[in-house]
Amino acid sequence: MKQLRVGLKVWSTNLQLADDIARGFDKGLFDYVELYVVSGSLHNTLEVWRSLGLKFIIHCPHMFNGFNLADQTLRLSNQEKFAEARLFADALSVDTIIVHSGNGGPLQEAAEQMRLLSDGRICVENKPKLGHNGAVCLGATPDEVKAIMDGAGINGFVLDFSHAVCAANVLGVDLMGLLRGFMSLKPRLMHLNDGPRDAVQDKHMNLGHGSFDLRAFVRMIPDGGSVSLETPNQPGSGLRDFYADRRFLSGLLEEG
């Protein structure tokens, strides 16, 4: 059976989950934590996460926290937000920092701002074609992602399957062909959740609760590859929903 490195995605402010995360790791339910940095949370949260002694990767803030590399007027603000993510990464001995390329602006601006961040740990993530604010996102196709990577001077890429579904639906292109193009960029890790097959915006549904062809997605992940489950956990339920998603993923792997 294919073996994958599985990641749990949480926000830096989810301190209420710290004990559940420690127990889940001890049980072998995941291999690393993908920590989304909420801007301004460093001083109140870092020591809690560091005390767990786990393997982390960092997800830089994105448009919901005002981080948009395609907006020239946000250059200073973007650098400040990334600096906080960098501090998390340094303190947690992280080798991967996931960054979105932004929306509503030129690709060249996003690539240049990413270059100016000057961190070899950066991995750019593919995006849907349309953001939740209606703006056009950058990095919806393999060619766009490659252009951003080349312009920024980085070689790290993260494949988000749900974003690819949404992009394919808006662009009217074959999803599997789009995914094969992304796979040619040799993603360092993948993001997996479920959603409506005809979605044009990311829904982040739990596995088995949507209509994505999750079996096909999992088959594309190479043996030993890393996949973060970007699925929701209901408030007050600890990691119960994640455990269900983890079991669902295990079932897909057993099917082959």
Q: Enumerate residue ranges in the chain where pLDDT < 70.
A: none
Q: What angle do CA 7, 10, 15 make, to 5 degrees?
A: 130
In this structure, which CATH number among 3.30.1640.10, 3.90.1300.10, 3.30.428.10, 3.20.20.150 belongs to the domain 5-255? 3.20.20.150
Residue the block writes with tokens 């349309």: 130
Residue the block writes with tokens 């979105």: 100
Per-residue confidence (pLDDT) for residue 1, from 0 to 100: 84
CB neighbour class for 156 (10 Å; exposed up to 12, middle 13-18, buried from 19): buried
Distance CA 145, CA 101 (A): 9
Distance CA 138, CA 128 (A): 8
Per-residue confidence (pLDDT) for residue 85, from 0 to 100: 98
Q: What are the boundaries of each domain within the chain?
A: 5-255
Distance CA 64, CA 79 (A): 16
pTM score: 0.97
pLDDT in tens, 107-152: 999 999 999 999 999 999 999 999 877 889 999 999 999 999 999 9
Per-residue confidence (pLDDT) for residue 207, from 0 to 100: 98
Per-residue confidence (pLDDT) for residue 63, from 0 to 100: 87
Per-residue confidence (pLDDT) for residue 169, from 0 to 100: 98
Per-residue confidence (pLDDT) for residue 64, from 0 to 100: 82
